[in-house]
Structure 1
């Protein structure tokens, strides 16, 4: 099913539905632009013993960190492999009715944020940041900014345009949640 226009206009379609931009040209691709049903990996990668990180992705819990594909492709690129986009290799991704509901999109944003935080922590991109409540302070500033933008966009009036701000808010909440759960597990 094709999502309604308010979703197409206001939701990041890559992380929400793993949709590839229609104007993408064949050629090299950054690893963060390779997702689930739209990816293939040569068999030799797996025969070399390389595997997906089982601590990321579906099957872990309802609020799992997303991004097992990105984590793997970033690792492969760091080892000298390359990601490539082939527009003729088409995959039809089924979007279910419940995936077009606000609650589903916001849960997806939360899991996307958890995955981003996981990648940042593994890259030590947040290791030196001052933290409060188990997460970097800058994330709380970003959360407050997103909350204000959501209010301004009309969340209480039910305006469709607020969904992007709500997405960003839930994405940052997921980042904070992952930092907090990670810092608790280190104690």
Structure 2
């Protein structure tokens, strides 16, 4: 089973990170891997990519005529791919050497239509002591409570997600309007929308294998408290929008909130009382600050998106 990994890049400032991502794909334990690099309209970056990878027969390269955005670039990569499976990774991520091997296991053993894995953090600027694991999803990392182990889930992060290529193309790929509905660039959730269509049209969700790991680089700006609070607000807003556009996608958020109330918070309070520390106190405080920001963003979404 050949696997094509689509990696999109845009900025020369991120080129070193792109190279690390690309090399992590090309050094997989799984042999039959193709890397498809899509440069999003930046000719200087494309020239550098061709210089570095143009002679590698395991790498296909393409440059968009203009900046089309991440989702359109991913769709282009999938169209150019030769593999039976198309996987996606971002230019700020690094795949574990067994990543593809673990993804393929889901197709061979579960006969899955889509397989995703776990995002782990690489704290480039150091881990913030106030950020609770329950809200790691704010920085693109699999959070505490996401799943108890292997099994079917609604979706995983787009930087660790794969599909049988014929299924992906039949679905029409990512909806490129998902970040711009009603002129709104704050709406997130391209992978959520696509996986909801997968469930609707094929009756199947994404097989999650936590052993298929990809590191996500968490840069310094993503560890700023105000940036995270702002992101939490817009994530709440986005969740309301997705709820209107795709009513069937709200179940996992409801389950997460339930666990936050009846499981995570009581456990953190107990831990704080039995083993008090400043970091534990900060994390409990931010647990509810983030929850409040998500809630306010969700309520604001009602003023823009109505059912």
Q: By the TM > 0.5 criterion, same fold? A: yes
Conserved 8 A contact 2:232-2:293: yes
Q: Which moved more, 1:94-103 or 1:74-83?
A: 74-83
For the pair shown, which has the larger CA radius of gyration, 1 or 2?
2
| Pair 1:25 & 2:154 matched | no
Instruction: Supply the distance in 2 between the matched residues of 1:64 and 1:39 (Cα, whole angstroms).
Output: 22
The superposition leaves residues 77-133 of structure 1 with CA deviations (integer Å, 9 ceiling, x where unpaired) of: 1221331112332211110111111111112211211221012212458xxxxxxxx
Task: Kindly report the root-mean-square deviation, in angstroms, between the aligned alpha carbons of the 2 structures.
Answer: 3.1
Conserved 8 A contact 1:67-1:112: no
Counterpart secondary structure, 2:212: coil
Count of residue correspondences: 147
Conserved 8 A contact 2:233-2:298: yes
Deviation for aligned residue 1:173? 2.0
State the match for 1:82 in structure 2.
Answer: 205
The superposition leaves residues 133-167 of structure 1 with CA deviations (integer Å, 9 ceiling, x where unpaired) of: xxxxxxxxxxxxxxxxxxxxxxxxxx623212221
Counterpart secondary structure, 2:207: strand
State the match for 2:218 in structure 1.
Answer: 95
Conserved 8 A contact 2:196-2:246: no
After TM superposition, the score normalised by the length of structure 2 is: 0.41
State the match for 1:64 in structure 2.
Answer: 186
Structure 1 unaligned regions, length at least 5: 126-158
Counterpart secondary structure, 2:211: coil
Deviation for aligned residue 1:72? 1.5
Instruction: Supply the distance in 2 between the matched residues of 1:20 and 1:44 (Cα, whole angstroms).
Output: 30
| Pair 1:117 & 2:234 matched | no
- Could you tell me which of 148, 151, 165 is aligned with 2:288? 165
Counterpart secondary structure, 1:91: strand
| Pair 1:40 & 2:133 matched | no
Instruction: Supply the distance in 2 between the matched residues of 1:102 and 1:94 (Cα, whole angstroms).
Output: 17
After TM superposition, the score normalised by the length of structure 1 is: 0.64
Conserved 8 A contact 1:31-1:73: yes
Conserved 8 A contact 1:52-1:72: yes
Q: Which aligned runs of 4 or more in structure 1 are off by greater than 3 angstroms?
A: 20-24, 60-63
State the match for 1:12 in structure 2.
Answer: 135
Structure 2 unaligned regions, length at least 5: 1-122, 249-280
Instruction: Supply the distance in 1 between the matched residues of 2:212 and 2:183 (Cα, whole angstroms).
Output: 31
Counterpart secondary structure, 2:204: coil
Deviation for aligned residue 1:179? 2.3
The superposition leaves residues 4-35 of structure 1 with CA deviations (integer Å, 9 ceiling, x where unpaired) of: 332135x5113443325598422x32215x11
Instruction: Supply the distance in 1 between the matched residues of 2:216 and 2:232 (Cα, whole angstroms).
Output: 19
Q: Larger % of strand: which?
A: 2
